[in-house]
Every structure is written in structure tokens, then in C-alpha cells.
Amino acid sequence: MKRRTWTWTCLGLALAVAGLWALCARRPDGARAAERAFALRTSGIVLTVPGVVARILDDDTRSPRHQRFILRTARGQTLLVSHNLELAPRAPVRAGDAVTVRGQYEWNNEGGLLHNTHSRPRRPSGWIRLSRVGRTYH
């Protein structure tokens, strides 16, 4: 009787672990999702992408003003991040900083663009999380 219970317990545990693994395997990480969006020329989807600030660009000074920088993912893809300074505070990013950016992805032939990295009423909000200072800007 005890052996049968032990067998069913082990089988149940194995199925639970396999189910959890399958669930996690179907959920792509942010860098993989950005890579897939680029390959499929997809636009308009909200992504959360970790990476490193590869380069700081000059602000776009036309209204609305935007802070701009290049984000490089762990998979090597580069994304232009365009952060609206009229709707959110400047994120004090520097080249080499580890960041995670949540925003709306738009396809372009250079890797893509992440924008809407700020709070938005009645829509998914974006943000920039700067690891160096432990703060999120939105």
C-alpha cells in the first residue's frame, strides 16, 4: 500500500514539474519576444525587454520632446528607446547601464523602436527600470 502511494506521489510531482516547465517554455523572454517581433515585422505590441544601454543619443527636441538611447539585448538586437519627456521624468541612464524597458514595439529595419514608456490612462503603461539606482521611471 505504501509503495503504491509513493509511486502516485512521485508521478504527480513529475507531472506538476513538467506542466510548469511547459508553461514557462511557452512564455518567451523579452529579448526573444523582441527578436521575434523584428523577424515577423510586427508593430504595436507591448514588450518588456531587459538589456544594456549601448549608446546615448541626443534628445529629440521637437514637441513632444523625447529622451533617446539605444538598448542592446542579451541576444544582440538593438532597439531605439524613445521616452516622452513631457509625460514622464528623464531616466538618468548612462552607457553600460543595465535597464529593463516596457513599451510599445514598432518595427523598423534597424531592430525596432520602443516608445510609450510612460503611464497612459486606459492603456498598458510603460516604464524604464534603471538597475543602478533601483528606480522605475514612468
Mean pLDDT of each 10-residue bin along the chain, 138 residues long: 53 42 48 94 95 97 94 95 95 97 96 92 86 92
The pLDDT assigned to 70 comes to: 98
How many residues make up the chain in this entry? Answer: 138
The pLDDT assigned to 29 comes to: 81
- Which ranges of 2-138 does DSSP label H, i.e. alpha helix? 2-26, 30-39
For the chain, which residues make up each domain, given as ranges? 30-137
| CATH architecture, range 30-137 | Beta Barrel (2.40)
Cα–Cα distance measured from residue 100 to residue 53, given in angstroms and rounded to the nearest whole number = 10
What kind and span of H or E run contains 100? strand 98-106
State phi, psi for 114 to the nearest 5 degrees.
Answer: -115, 120
The pLDDT assigned to 43 comes to: 96
The pLDDT assigned to 122 comes to: 74
48 within 8 A of 101, measured Cβ to Cβ: yes
Give the residue among 72, 129, 65, 77 at the shortest CA–CA distance from 103. Answer: 129
